[in-house]
Amino acid sequence: MINMKLFKSKKASSILMMVFELMAVVLIVSMLMLVSKKLNDSESVHKNLIAEDLNMMINYMASVSGDIILKYPLQNSSKNISAYEIVLTSSNVDGTGTNDAELKVSIGGEVSLLDSKRTLFLPTGYTAIGIAEQKERICLTKQGKSITLEGC
Amino acid sequence: MSNKKAQSAFEIARKQIFWIFMGLVVVVAVLSFTYIIQNYISHLADTPPELELQFITLRFLENPDCFAYQDSFNGKVLVNTLDINKLNEERMDLCYFTGESKGYNYPNFELYFPEINLSFNTNEYYGMVDHTYFKQINIKNGTEIYSTNLIIYIQENMETSRHDETWS
């Protein structure tokens, strides 16, 4: 049974207010630490690096006149991409849309504000599609005007 | 006695107002903190823009779906040799088109051939030059091939700060 007199006492309410303030401070500090920990992990940097590398590889493929296969990462590279889901979508799958494609790198397919996205502009008639879920290595293949991304 | 009660009530009300205000300040602080860190992380892995721009500009010189000359008999593409019949804005739109909305936030290009006084550009190019790229190329005009200069003006992103860099 809570003694209601406790709340009426000035000293008790002051202590309660202090406890509440301390809890609020602890909550704020832990919230900031959680946010900074989530944002400052190396995953985000890795995602950006992978997206940046693939963006340049696809742009290069759009420049080459013949067919080509590019593997990523290199055979002896220490880079590990198996934790990520890489999705390449094109607006021009049926040949009637615009020429832009979107490259998205995420962790385990989770939708997050920290997903790395890149927009690519390909020559008319080109398509770029594919998905690689948690693969150790991916292959970008250009055949004619079609660029595909898959695990290999 | 009533004065003391009023003082105590005022004290509690003041603290409540303070915490409501602090709550708002904390929410704004956390959101700004998230934005700053996110922005920092996204730029941490930035590659030099010239590298990406080189890969994009390569298509103008090497892809027959852009301006590169392709022999109609054997299909062979002459790298670094441009077809005079392809050098126009319609072809540029087929080669590189950034879309109508917000296309200015992406790289846009102007190709200028000083010797033949010819220039054309991509759809969202507004002359805000960030980089200038000089290249010696060949032009195929009928049976004739001649060497000429190509200047590629690059507008990297209308929202970023301007700086003019020349590279070749």
In this prediction the ipTM stands at 0.76
User: Do A50 and A86 lie in a common domain?
Assistant: yes
Task: Supply the pLDDT for residue A111.
Answer: 67
Q: CB neighbours (10 Å) of residue B63? A: 21
User: In terms of residue numbers, what domain contains A12?
Assistant: 5-39
Strands A116-121, A100-107: pairing kind:
antiparallel
CB contact under 8 A, B97 and A124: yes
**Residue B79: phi, psi to the nearest 5?**
-65, 140
Identify the residue among A44, A46, A47, A63 best suited for mutation to test binding to B, counting B beta carbons within 10 A and taking the highest: A63
Strands A84-90, A127-133: pairing kind:
antiparallel
CB A140 within 8 A of CB A149: yes
Nearest-neighbour CA in chain B from A35: distance (Å) = 7
CB contact under 8 A, B64 and A65: yes
Task: Supply the pLDDT for residue B43.
Answer: 76
Among candidates B129, B132, B120, which has minimal Cα distance to B157? B129
Task: Supply the pLDDT for residue A11.
Answer: 76
CB contact under 8 A, A123 and B66: yes
Which among B38, B55, B96 is the nearest to A114, CB-wise? B38
User: Do A35 and A77 lie in a common domain?
Assistant: no
Task: Supply the pLDDT for residue B138.
Answer: 96
For residue range A6-61, what is the model confidence (pLDDT) as tens digits?
556 777 777 887 888 888 889 888 887 887 776 666 777 888 889 999 999 999 99
**What percentage of residues in chain A have a pLDDT greater than 90?**
32
User: Do A53 and A126 lie in a common domain?
Assistant: yes
**What percentage of residues in chain A have a pLDDT greater than 70?**
82
User: Do A88 and A27 lie in a common domain?
Assistant: no
d(CA B78, CA B166) in angstroms, rounded, equals: 26
Task: Supply the pLDDT for residue B152.
Answer: 96
Kindly report whether the global pTM for this prediction surpasses the value 0.90.
no
Task: Supply the pLDDT for residue A33.
Answer: 82
CB A126 within 8 A of CB A115: no
Q: Which residues of A touch B63 (CB under 8 A)?
A: 62-65, 123
Give the mean pLDDT of chain B. 86
Nearest-neighbour CA in chain A from B155: distance (Å) = 15
Task: Supply the pLDDT for residue B22.
Answer: 82
How many domains does one find in chain A? 2
User: Do A12 and A70 lie in a common domain?
Assistant: no
